[in-house]
A and B are shown apart, each in its own frame.
Chain A
Amino acid sequence: MDLFANALNGIPLWWFLVVSAALFCIGLYGVMARKNAIAMLMGVELMLNAVNINLIAFWRFIAPNSPSGLAFAAFVFVIAAAEAAIGLALIISVYRSNQSIDPEKLDQMKL
């Protein structure tokens, strides 16, 4: 724990933010650009995790004595899990009706 903690000691906050932003952008790209609904769901997971990195990083550097940062991250995990479950269920259901999970072919929402 210490080792791990120390290993991270010298790293400044903006590194975490850069990683988090990069992760968010990768997730966003995945959501926006992939032709597979499951990959989009995975992109969403990446973006949520990027948020989590941010939350933990800000907790550690700005308010280490308050539990709210960890609590937030825990909530995000839970929600991400729920969302993945619901999202996968939706994808299965879409697949059943459309025989495809390519989001470009799913345009019933405009009807």
Chain B
Amino acid sequence: MLFAEAVTTAPSYLTTLLWLIPLPPILAFALIALFFNRYRQTSSTIAVLSMIASTVMAYIVFFNVWQLKDLGKAPISSSIAWLPTGDTTLSIGVSVDPLSATFLFMVPLACTLIFIYSTGYMASDPLYSRFFAYLSLFAGSMLGLVVSNNLLTLFVFWELMGFCSYSLIGFFYRKPSAYKAAVKAFMTTRVGDMLLILGMVYLYAQTGTLNFFDIMHSEEVLELLGTTPAVGIFGTTLGLSAAALIGLLVFGGVVGKSAQWPLHVWLPDAMEGPTPVSAMIHAAAMVSAGIFLLLRFFPIIEVSGEHSATFTTIGLIGAFTAFMGATIAVAQYDIKRVMAFSTISQLGFMVAAVGIGAYVAAGFHLLTHAFFKALLFLASGSVIHGVEHGHHHVHAHGHGHGHAHGEPEAEAEHADAETHHEEFDPQDMRNMGGLRHKMPVTFWTFLIGGLALAGFPFITAGFWSKDEIFADAYHHGIEGGDPLGTLVFITLVVTATLTAFYTMRQIKLVFFGKARTEAAEHASESTPAMTFPLIVLAVFALFIGFINVPPDFPIFGSIVGSGAFYFKNLIGQYLIEKPEPLAFNIVPVLFSLGVALGGLALGWLVYSGRNLEAGVTDPVERLGGLFRFLNRRWMWDELYRAIFINPMQWLADNYTRIVDKGVIDAILEGGWKAGAAIAGAFAAFDRVVITGISDAIGRGFRVVGDWGRELQSGQVQNYLLSGLIMALAILVFFLFLFR
């Protein structure tokens, strides 16, 4: 075992590095957004360099801790007090433990490759700088989420990622489908996030801390959570432990983020974003974050009991999602949409694995899946790019515009998204075919990714991680007699067969046969900026599986020697009780061999010869009604539209009409009318009383003045007369009144 000669202490600068890891991309976001948004080259350089800086720091941390023996029990951690909350203080901080170490290995690498790829893929986009700004923030958020040592900051970064995915899915915001997809993704994940908040609040109410290790590494706290009965609304008891309820609520967040049924509907639509974003969402960040959180909460879910409602729910939803995603993927034509449903299906695998308690297998599959799915997405992007290129080529020549090859794309790309798609869809696999000669690097890397996804035996990573899940499911279900385990095992076996089938269908449709359109005929290989990440990822898609080979696996167990079950020993440390390694069993291995090879062979046979020619109906369309049902994605969108969106819209419309216009507007209108009446009364009062009095006074003075002026006639006899009158008056006064 690798841990035999392990070092036991880590250098002290690691905590500083941990704080710094998420910083460069977030800083890059700020720099690009504020200062360099006009400088395309500078923006991408800053983004890529920041990502490389993060990667270097993350790898320094990783290689310092990957052999630490008791990293699980004593994670390297650093906290600061953040929010005083009455008697207690909420601390936030960073840490590295086995689980986050795994992610510190995978996330920065995948992100860096996606960044490099984006410099090529987005090269002709007018909003290049904005793209890199968002992408940087996305990557920074994911790194922040990984190094968080508490649920609160994890949640903050979780939401930041939600925002970034919203912005990036809606990146081609002039396309109505793009911004609708962005809103859909944001709203759908919000449903899950609401549950996650509830879970977080409940957890804090129960334990008084959100620090993962204070909870997950303390047997007393876990025991308390496991034995406290959960309190429902109005004090009802739910028949659950607090741990089970918290697990369920957190799982609600995971369902939203990791696109599990019933909140899976946003992920296929997220294809509207540029392809590197899809890779980011499907592999490195977004959906991985959901499973990451689920693994983080595994100790809490575990104490809810072996057959608790939480485990059952997780297992059933995971298995169902895996099956559903795979069936839908079979009947899609959009190259990226196949991948999207494949992601949903594979995430279902992981969730189902958690549901049967296979914590390590879920984490392992998450890791391998991240690599081969990132690879597949980037390769799909390369295919789309190539076909689009071919389309422009044909277009430019066919219409005699005489554009230099590739040059007009700078302005055309965005416009293309709106106009050309009407007539030509470069993502439709029916428009491809025969690309293996035109795009050799893309072909080989796509093939490797596809085989890994299908679980091609021994030489791909996907085989090892799927086999691990199968082994656990077989052990729990068929051997252990657990009905949930049995169900999960059977579902996953069927799903894996479908997975292999649709993967082969895709490979054959895209790369084999003859080009079915002129665009595919003229497709050309992508630039090195795009093919280099493919090659690196392909290497990982092949070999990352060897980090968790069972030691008693025939031949391979002895090849890897002391490295066997390295991954299990590493992330198993997170749990208080280290998971017991299962004894090697040939039956699940045979199953995984059988389904992978069987599915691939079936796909190869169905999609060969005449079925690959242009104009031939896809064989799966012969399924008729079932095909349409699958092609329409089980009608979930229609169902949700009928159940939630339309009633909500009806409610909103009627609310507007009745309450808003009818009641509120009426009240307001009544208000202003009353106000007008009062004002009118005041105006009348003003006019009659105040103005009247002042006017009367003025008029009075005027009258008196006019009268007084009459006296001043200038005629001496009049003056005399007044003098006489005055004298008489004085006389009268003195004679009769003053006596």
Contacts and interface: CB of A to CB of B under 8 A. Distances in A.
B435 to A, nearest CB: 115
A106 interface: yes
B724 A28 contact: yes
B713 A110 contact: yes
Contacts of A103: 715-717
Nearest to B709: A110
B615 interface: no
Interface in A95-111: 103-104, 106-111
B204 to A, nearest CB: 98
B721 A107 contact: no
B720 A32 contact: yes
B714 A111 contact: yes
A91 to B, nearest CB: 12
Interface in A53-101: none
A1 to B, nearest CB: 37
Contacts of B713: 107, 110
A107 B714 contact: yes
Interface in B716-739: 716-717, 719-721, 724
B253 to A, nearest CB: 100
Contact of B721 (A32, A106, A109, A110): A32
A107 to B, nearest CB: 3
Contacts of A40: 717
Q: Name which of B714, B717, B724 has the most chain A CB atoms within 10 A of its CB.
A: B717
Interface string B691-714: 000000000000000000000111
Contact-residue bracket for chain A: 10 to 19
A104 B720 contact: no
B717 A31 contact: yes
Contacts of A108: 714
Nearest to A105: B715
Contacts of B716: 103, 106, 109
Contacts of B719: 109
Given A28-B724, A32-B724, A109 B714 contact: yes
Interface string A13-38: 00000000000000010011100000
B505 to A, nearest CB: 119
Contact of B715 (A28, A104, A111): A104
Contacts of B715: 103-104, 106-107, 109
Nearest to A40: B717
A4 B119 CA distance: 150
A71 B714 CA distance: 37
A77 B636 CA distance: 133
A28 B716 CA distance: 13
Q: Name which of A106, A109, A111 has the most chain B CB atoms within 10 A of its CB.
A: A109
Interface in B123-173: none
A46 to B, nearest CB: 14
Contact of A104 (B712, B717, B724): B717
Nearest to A37: B716
A54 B724 CA distance: 19
Contacts of B721: 32
Contacts of B717: 31-33, 40, 103-104
A61 B399 CA distance: 146
Contacts of A109: 714-716, 719
Contacts of A107: 713-715
Contacts of A111: 714
B720 A110 contact: no
B731 to A, nearest CB: 13
B610 to A, nearest CB: 126
B453 to A, nearest CB: 117
Nearest to B716: A103
Contacts of B720: 31-32
Nearest to A109: B714
B22 to A, nearest CB: 98
Contacts of B714: 106-111
Contacts of A106: 714-716
A33 to B, nearest CB: 8
Q: Name which of A31, A33, A111 has the most chain B CB atoms within 10 A of its CB.
A: A31
Given A32-B717, A103-B717, A110 B712 contact: yes
A60 B720 CA distance: 32
A67 to B, nearest CB: 29
A32 B718 CA distance: 8
A108 B716 CA distance: 10
A8 B717 CA distance: 37
Contacts of A31: 717, 720
A104 B712 CA distance: 13
B708 to A, nearest CB: 12
Top 6 nearest A-B pairs (CB, nearest first) are A110-B714, A107-B714, A109-B714, A110-B712, A107-B715, A103-B717
Interface of B: 712-717, 719-721, 724
Given A104-B715, A107-B713, A109-B716, 18 more contacts: A31-B717, A31-B720, A32-B717, A32-B720, A33-B717, A103-B716, A103-B717, A106-B715, A106-B716, A107-B714, A107-B715, A108-B714, A109-B714, A109-B715, A109-B719, A110-B712, A110-B713, A111-B714
Interface of A: 28, 31-33, 40, 103-104, 106-111
10 contacts: A31-B717, A31-B720, A32-B721, A32-B724, A103-B716, A104-B717, A109-B715, A109-B716, A110-B712, A110-B714
